[in-house]
């Protein structure tokens, strides 16, 4: 398993071997891997070398540690391409996962200045504020806060926002969604986010702000989302100009 004559660092070889075991389902998500002592005996290397390999995989999100218990295989991250515009529900269904939501806030408010500007509406106009926890296979993935002009979707109900808003907008209201611009940045979870996402305080999260438009150029939503960085990653194809 380990070639000590190889130019590849031993800790890297250990990482690759454990990753292969995960790929082969020898280790499954939630399984506890062998202890540092057991791994050092298996690979016939020092515990320090094993610790470096394990730490690297924890930092990558392949493994996670629980104090006093051990080291476990993490759930595989969901890959979200940055190309194309789909809803959370559509994303999860395309992966064969069960998408669900928990509604935290559904209210009409006067549009905050930044929201009114992005939606191109009067500052005194009303918007729906919708905050939901988004789940995949009953596990929290994101906290999502959406702002939509009331004038665009009069009569929007709690029942509707429990499901897919995009489906409602296109199939029921017969509006055509066209494009969106979005910003992504890395940050850490505050106390409220960590509680809702079921992660320790200051855990890494991905903050995404999306401004979406109909095909005629009318902005119809602003969405502010906080995704668990240990469960989600975004990928993009980049071409040389």
pLDDT band at 9 (very low <50, low <70, confident <90, very high): very high
Q: What is the pLDDT of residue 81?
A: 62
Q: Give residue for tokens 């759930």.
A: 75
196 and 146 in a single domain? The answer is yes
212 and 154 in a single domain? The answer is yes
Question: Looking at the domain assignment, is residue 114 inside a domain?
Answer: yes
As a whole number of angstroms, the distance between CA 144 and CA 131 comes to 6
Chain centroid to Cα 92, Å, comes to 11
Identify the weakest region by mean pLDDT among 14-18, 24-28, 189-193, 235-239: 235-239
Over pLDDT 90: what percentage of the chain?
A: 54
As a whole number of angstroms, the distance between CA 108 and CA 165 comes to 16
Instruction: Record the pTM.
Output: 0.70
51 and 160 in a single domain? The answer is no
Secondary structure (3-state) at 74: coil
In the chain, the number of structural domains is 2
Of 56, 73, 90, which residue sits at a domain end?
73
Best CA proximity match to 19, nearest among 52, 63, 50, 55: 63
Q: What is the pLDDT of residue 96?
A: 73
Q: What is the pLDDT of residue 235?
A: 76
123 and 100 in a single domain? The answer is yes
The mean pLDDT value for 229-236 works out to 76
140 and 219 in a single domain? The answer is yes
Q: Is the pLDDT of residue 1 over 90?
A: no
Of 21, 49, 73, which residue sits at a domain end?
73
Q: What is the pLDDT of residue 213?
A: 95
135 and 21 in a single domain? The answer is no
Q: How far is CA 3 from CA 6, 10, 12, 39, in A?
A: 5, 8, 11, 15
Question: Looking at the domain assignment, is residue 174 inside a domain?
Answer: yes
Q: How far does the chain reach from its first CA to its final CA, in angstroms?
A: 43
194 and 101 in a single domain? The answer is yes
Is 181 within 8 Å of 202 (Cβ atoms)? no
Of 36, 52, 73, which residue sits at a domain end?
73
Q: Is the pLDDT of residue 174 over 70?
A: yes
40 and 55 in a single domain? The answer is yes
Secondary structure (3-state) at 199: coil
Question: Looking at the domain assignment, is residue 4 inside a domain?
Answer: no
As a whole number of angstroms, the distance between CA 148 and CA 164 comes to 14
Give the pair of three-digit tokens for residue 218: 């009318």
Best CA proximity match to 9, nearest among 56, 41, 78: 56
CATH number at residue 23: 1.10.10.10
Question: Looking at the domain assignment, is residue 3 inside a domain?
Answer: no
102 and 158 in a single domain? The answer is yes
Question: Looking at the domain assignment, is residue 1 inside a domain?
Answer: no
Is 11 within 8 Å of 56 (Cβ atoms)? yes
CATH number at residue 195: 3.40.1410.10
For residue 227, list its beta bridge partners.
142, 206
Boundaries of domain holding 19: 10-73
Q: Where are the beta strands (DSSP E) in the chain?
A: 63-66, 70-73, 78-81, 99-110, 126-136, 139-149, 177-188, 204-214, 219-228, 232-235
94 and 50 in a single domain? The answer is no
Q: What is the pLDDT of residue 240?
A: 81
For residue 219, list its beta bridge partners.
213
165 and 146 in a single domain? The answer is yes
The mean pLDDT value for 182-195 works out to 91
68 and 178 in a single domain? The answer is no
**Which of 147 and 200 is assigned the larger pLDDT?**
147
């Amino acid at each position: 398993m380990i070639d000590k004559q190889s130019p590849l660092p031993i800790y890297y070889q250990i990482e690759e071997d454990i990753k292969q075991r995960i790929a082969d389902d020898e280790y499954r998500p939630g399984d506890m891997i062998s202890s540092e002592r057991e791994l050092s005996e298996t690979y016939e290397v020092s515990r320090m070398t094993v610790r470096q390999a394990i730490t690297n995989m924890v930092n990558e999100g392949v493994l996670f540690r629980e104090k006093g218990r051990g080291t476990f295989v993490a759930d595989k991250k969901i890959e979200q391409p940055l190309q194309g515009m789909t809803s959370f529900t559509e994303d999860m269904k395309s992966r064969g996962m069960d998408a669900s939501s928990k509604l935290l806030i559904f209210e009409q408010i006067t549009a905050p200045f930044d929201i009114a500007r992005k939606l191109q509406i009067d500052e005194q106009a009303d918007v729906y504020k919708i905050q939901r926890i988004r789940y995949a296979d009953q596990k929290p993935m994101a906290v999502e806060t959406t702002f939509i002009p009331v004038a665009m979707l009069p009569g929007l109900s709690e029942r509707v926002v429990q499901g897919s808003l995009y489906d409602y907008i296109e199939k029921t209201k017969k509006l055509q969604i066209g494009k969106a611009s979005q910003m992504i940045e890395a940050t850490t979870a505050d106390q409220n986010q960590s509680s809702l996402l079921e992660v320790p305080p200051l855990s890494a999260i991905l903050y995404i702000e999306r401004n979406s438009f109909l095909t005629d150029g009318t902005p119809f939503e602003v969405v502010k989302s906080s995704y668990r960085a240990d469960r989600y990653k975004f990928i993009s194809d980049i071409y040389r100009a």
